[in-house]
Amino acid sequence: MPELPEVEVSRQGISPYLENQQLVKVIARQRQLRWWVPDEVLAQTNQPVLSVTRRAKYLLIQLPRGDIILHLGMSGHLKVIPSGTPATKHDHIDLVLASGMALRLNDTRRFGAVLWQQKGEVHPLLASLGPEPLSDNFNLAHLTAAFAKRGSAVKLVLMDNHVVVGVGNIYANEALFKAGILPSKPAKAVTPQQLAKLLPVIKDTLAAAIKQGGTTLKDFSQADGKPGYFAQQLLVYGRGGQPCVSCSKNLTEIRLGQRSTVFCASCQQ
């Protein structure tokens, strides 16, 4: 599933083609995605695109009357193409622009979503989300309070969108390794010193991934404009059984919350 950096780089890739353009119409070849594409989305005709923003893993196409919300799910991807381009299998939604281009959503498994958020309202999916990890609202006081009474594994708490959005499996593994914290350690047992180290590590890890993605971004105006995962130097994720980059002992891989979790039993406490 695309994680926050992939979604942010998708936002950066499509924004130049959408912002300050006119949305002529929305074409839905298949409305049954994860949720039914609502009538309000299809009613958006001849509307200026004010901006393209992101909240957690949701992209928001901001229009005068409200926002079209896009979520890529597990297999969705976006590409910008000439509006007359014939649809292929799994090309479900087109946002047709006056420029002659269109933003197309292809979603093989149909776990993505295209939803509507009325102006002045907050969609229920966005209402209870935690702070953005790169924002000032994600700070030491917030992290300390979130961890204080939680006995769950620290990795699972970091991946809870009510605590902070967008710290997915890859980046939780990486951040905890860099901070020297065992992923299975109860969140309430994480020391103040460890918390003080973890906070900037999370921010730096995500910021670096976004920066790397921006440098390797494929052209969204091409037919294969799927950004995919970036070529990154991952320290632990996907390296179970291989030598630790710090101490050379073999990394351990377990399952936490049904997700692959890799750590160094020597370097992380």
CA distance 216 to 228: 10
Ligand-binding annotation for 54, yes or no, is no
Spot the catalytic one: 3, 6, 8, 174. Answer: 3
Q: Is 203 a residue of the active site?
A: no
Q: What are phi and psi of 170, to 5 degrees?
A: -60, -50
Is residue 90 part of an annotated ligand binding site?
A: yes
Quick one: angle between helices 140-147 and 192-216, nearest 10? Answer: 120
How far is CA 169 from its chain centroid? 11
* Residue of 31, 110, 218, 259 marked catalytic: 259
Beta partners for residue 114, in sequence order:
70
How many other CB atoms are there within 10 angstroms of residue 126's CB atom? 17
255 annotated as a binding-site residue: no
- Examine the residue annotation and report whether 57 is marked as an active-site residue of this protein: yes
Catalytic residue (one of 2, 133, 183, 227): 2
Specify whether 64 is catalytic.
Answer: no
Give 250's DSSP letter.
Answer: B
Whether residue 2 lies in the annotated active site: yes
Q: Select which of 57, 79, 155, 178 is catalytic.
A: 57
Q: Are 188 and 154 in contact (CB under 8 A)?
A: no
Strand, coil or helix: 261: strand
Q: How far, in Å, are 15, 22, 56, 122, 232 from residue 18 at the CA level?
A: 5, 8, 20, 22, 28
Q: 10 Å Cβ neighbour count for 216? A: 13
The whole-angstrom separation of Cα 99 and Cα 87 is 19
Query: Binding-site residues for DNA, please?
Result: 90, 109, 150
Q: Which residues are catalytic?
A: 2-3, 57, 259
